[in-house]
Every structure is written in C-alpha cells, then in structure tokens.
A and B are shown apart, each in its own frame.
Chain A
Amino acid sequence: EAQLVESGGDLVQPGRSLRLSCAASGFNFDDYAMHWVRQVPGKGLEWVAGISWNSVNIAYGDSVKGRFTISRDDAKNSLYLQMNSLRAEDTALYYCAKARITYTSACFDLWGQGTLVTVSS
C-alpha cells in the first residue's frame, strides 16, 4: 500500500530552523514529483513547495520563498523541507503530497497525515 509519513514537526522559537521529512513507501518514489502543502489552524490549504521527479524543477510559494528549501533523496525514498527564519505565521500542519503524474499540475493523489509545526516564543 502506498504511504507517506511526515515527521520532524516541533515547537520552535521565531527565527530558528526546522527540517521536515516525508518517508514514502509502496510506490516508485523516484518517478514522481512531490510537494509540501500546509494548513494554518482555522485557514485553508496553502501550497508551500514542489520538486520534480529529477529535482530539475523546484518552486516555492511566495510566503516561504528564500526561507524554505525543498529537496529529495531518492535512495532513501524521502522528501525534505528545510525551514529557516521561521515566523509565527508558519505555524501549521504540514502535509507531504505525491503528484499523480506531472510536476506542473495540482493533482495530488497521495497525502500524508501531516506533521505539526508551531512557531512561538
């Protein structure tokens, strides 16, 4: 069964860094683009970042550009999100999502359960 499991969420102070991980299993991870999507408590879904199957194409949402870095390690079937200069408004449940086919679409057919990041002093 295909599965995504996020980890790394924590309570951190503003300005600090955190690295999220997403472990994939049950499908050929290196064939698919992957994305991070978050939900701020009480708000809607917000796309954070995406990376193509071969890491050639990478894109970020405006609110995280320059602070967050998405990467992948196909040998470990893992997706990462390095989050620097964290702000209170980054507090959210972060989901890892698998693209159904192409990088340039918003079609995500597999999601993890999310990992909670809380930024507070």
Chain B
Amino acid sequence: QSVLTQSPSASGTPGQSVTISCSGSRSNIGSNTVSWYQHLPGTAPKLLIYDNNQRPSGIPDRFSGSKSGTSASLAISGLQSEDEADYYCATWDDSLNGHVLFGGGTKLTVL
C-alpha cells in the first residue's frame, strides 16, 4: 500500500469533468511539490503537471493541478476518450534521507 493514497478508480462521460485526489503527509506532500503523470501500461509515462499546478508545454489546459496542505488534486475537464489511462501523483519525501514516492494510481475510465 502506497504512502500516497489515491482512489483506485474514477470515471466520467465525454465532456464531463473529473477530479483525482492524492493524500499524503507532512514529510511528503506537506513539504514538497507534487507532479502528476498519465500512463498507459507498457508505454512511457507522460508528465502532466509539475510544481503542483504547472503544465509542461504541449499539455492542454484541460488538465490542472492543485495542492492544499498534505493533499493534492488533478482535475480533468472536457473528458475525451483518449484520457482513459492510469494517473499517478508523485512527490519527494524528506524522511529516511529522502526518496521519491508515487501514489498507487487511479484508473480513469471514460464511459
């Protein structure tokens, strides 16, 4: 079980909005920035959000991130069929000399 907690699944219909949450603690999300990744198994994960709410070039503004305290969220608006994928939050953890943590992942289904 991951230290960063994500709901295992989420779903929505095309055009709808969905939010994926990520819960951590003071030593990880509470002290460091959060990144979000989109992943189709067997392919390279794609960076969607970094520094809590920044989008790399090429990522549509349908994707947005936020952080409050020890939790973070990824919001996807205007759902499209190609958004169906696994989504992971990730952050640095300051404990035990420091290490990277990934959330357990959320499988997004576009109905």
Contact = CB atoms under 8 A, between A and B. Distances in A.
A106 interface: yes
Interface stretch (B9-17, B42-50, B73-81): B42-50
Interface string B76-111: 000000000010101110000111111111000000
A3 to B, nearest CB: 11
A106 B43 contact: no
Given A105-B32, A107-B33, A111-B45, A59 B97 contact: yes
Interface size grouping (class) on chain B = 20 to 34
Interface stretch (A16-24, A45-53, A70-78): A45-53
For the complex, would chain A's binding face be called helix, strand, loop or mixed by DSSP majority?
strand
Interface of B: 2, 32-35, 37, 39, 41-47, 50-51, 56, 86, 88, 90-92, 97-105
Interface of A: 35, 37, 39, 44-47, 50, 57, 59-61, 93, 95, 97, 100, 104-109, 111-114
